Amino acid sequence: MKNNRSVLGLIFLLTTSAIWGISYIFTKIAVESIPPMTLASIRFFLASVILSFFVLRKRRRGFLLSKEAILSGLFGVTLYFFFENYSLKLTNPSDAALIVSSAPILAIIFYDMLERRFNIIEYLGSISAFVGLFFIIYGGQFSEGSSILGNIIAFGAAISWVGYTYFFEKHSNSTASGTFAISLWGMIFAIPFAILEIFVFKMPVSINSRAITGILYLAFLASAIGYFMWGMGIKLWGGKYSTIWIYTIPIFTVLADVIFLNNVPTLFFYLGASLVATGMILVIIQRLKNIRGYKENLSTQSRH
């Protein structure tokens, strides 16, 4: 039964990573016409509308006011997209992508501090994957336009994602309800920023076919379906181990770049992908050992 849950969780997490990897292309298209937090408000408003058809008909409202739901929406939507999108205003995408991808390492440290246990294999695997991302993102050369302030802001996105993972894992309701709740609260918290963008900072908004295409992909696939499946992955794999699949997102971004934009990956991509795979395998093997140890403890207790 545990093995079936692991396989199902893997499918959910890997599929979501592919969706989110491709979403960078559609985000880039959409933010050319719509300010970042205005875009976040629109995409999660539409996601909330979609998810409401599956949740509100059950006539259960209490889950919306749970502390975990509110904090998941704040960390996983509003703060995450605020830090990520605005870091891109100051620094180059390569730096931002690499720093945001430090979330799995931060998650392992955070959960190990909570559990008061540390495993060197998990850290070696995570570092291997992170170095692999360095090769994938930079492709053997450093890009210009780096900003210390922008990089610090990008680090806020990684911390926000760890917070989202922790609070969502503690959310006791179904993942459909949980996803609806974080989408709704994320939109609510994002609206004040959108108002500032449009009415105070006078950022231009232009709705065209390209922007609509980006919004629809981000709302339906990346938000409603993506957050739902990622939530399922957290439930099945746990918060600590689910975050390692973030390492695969840049790989899918590069593959989408190859497919849609006909760009050819360099040898550094293959080197980086190999390091990412090696690192993830190390962490996954450690997770399987933990499951095996859990089963053995249950078996021993049942005999007594």
What pLDDT does 294 receive?
47
Residue 281 pLDDT greater than 70, yes or no: yes
* CA dist list (Å): 91 to 20, 21, 149, 288: 21, 20, 8, 39
Task: Report, as an integer, the average pLDDT of 169-179.
Answer: 76
In whole angstroms, what is the distance from residue 248 CA to residue 213 CA? 24
- Residue 263 sits at φ, ψ, to 5 deg, of -85, 145
Lowest mean pLDDT among 17-21, 94-98, 99-103: 94-98
State yes or no: pLDDT of 301 exceeds 60. no
23-60: per-residue pLDDT in tens?
888 887 888 899 999 999 999 999 999 999 888 666 55
Mean per-residue pLDDT for 193-220? 94
Higher pLDDT, 267 or 196: 196
Mean pLDDT of 2-13: 84
Angle between helix 226-237 and helix 2-31 axes, rounded to 10 deg: 150
Of 113-117, 137-141, 162-166, 261-265, the poorest mean pLDDT is in 137-141
Element counts in the chain: helices (H) and strands (E): 14, 0
Model confidence band, residue 278 (pLDDT cutoffs 50, 70, 90):
very high
Whether 295 has a pLDDT exceeding 70, the answer reads no
Give the closest residue to 17 by CA, choosing from 184, 277, 243, 177.
243
**Position 67 pLDDT exceeds 50:** yes
Using the predicted structure, report yes or no on whether residue 298 has a pLDDT greater than 50.
Answer: no
Instruction: State the Cα–Cα distance between residues 117 and 113, nearest whole angstrom.
Output: 7
Structure token digits, residue 65: 């006011």
Rank 143-147, 148-152, 171-175, 256-260 by mean pLDDT and report only the highest. Answer: 148-152
Q: Using pLDDT thresholds of 50, 70 and 90, give the confidence band for residue 297.
A: low
Distance in angstroms (rounded) separating the CA atoms of residues 209 and 207: 7
Mean pLDDT (whole number) for 103-120: 88
Q: What is the mean pLDDT of the chain?
A: 85
Answer yes or no: is pLDDT of 121 > 50: yes
Q: How many CB atoms lie within 10 A of CB 284?
A: 17
pLDDT of residue 2: 58
Is residue 229 pLDDT above 90, yes or no? yes
Sign of CA dihedral 197, 199, 203, 206: positive
d(CA 206, CA 209): 10
Asked if 220 and 105 count as a contact pair (C-beta separation under 8 A), the reply is no
User: Which of 78, 243, 43 has the alpha carbon at shortest distance from 160?
Assistant: 78
Under the phi-then-psi rule, with left for phi > 0, alpha for psi from -120 to 50, and beta for the rest, what region is 263? beta
Rg (CA), the chain: 19
Q: Please state the rounded mean pLDDT for residues 3-12.
A: 85
pLDDT in tens, 123-141: 899 899 999 888 887 775 5
Phi, psi of 116 (to 5 degrees): 55, 45
DSSP-assigned states of every residue in 9-34: HHHHHHHHHHHHHHHHHHHHHHHTTS
37 burial via Cβ count (<10 Å: 0-12, 13-18, 19+): buried
Domain ranges of the chain: 2-303
Whole-number pLDDT of residue 99: 84
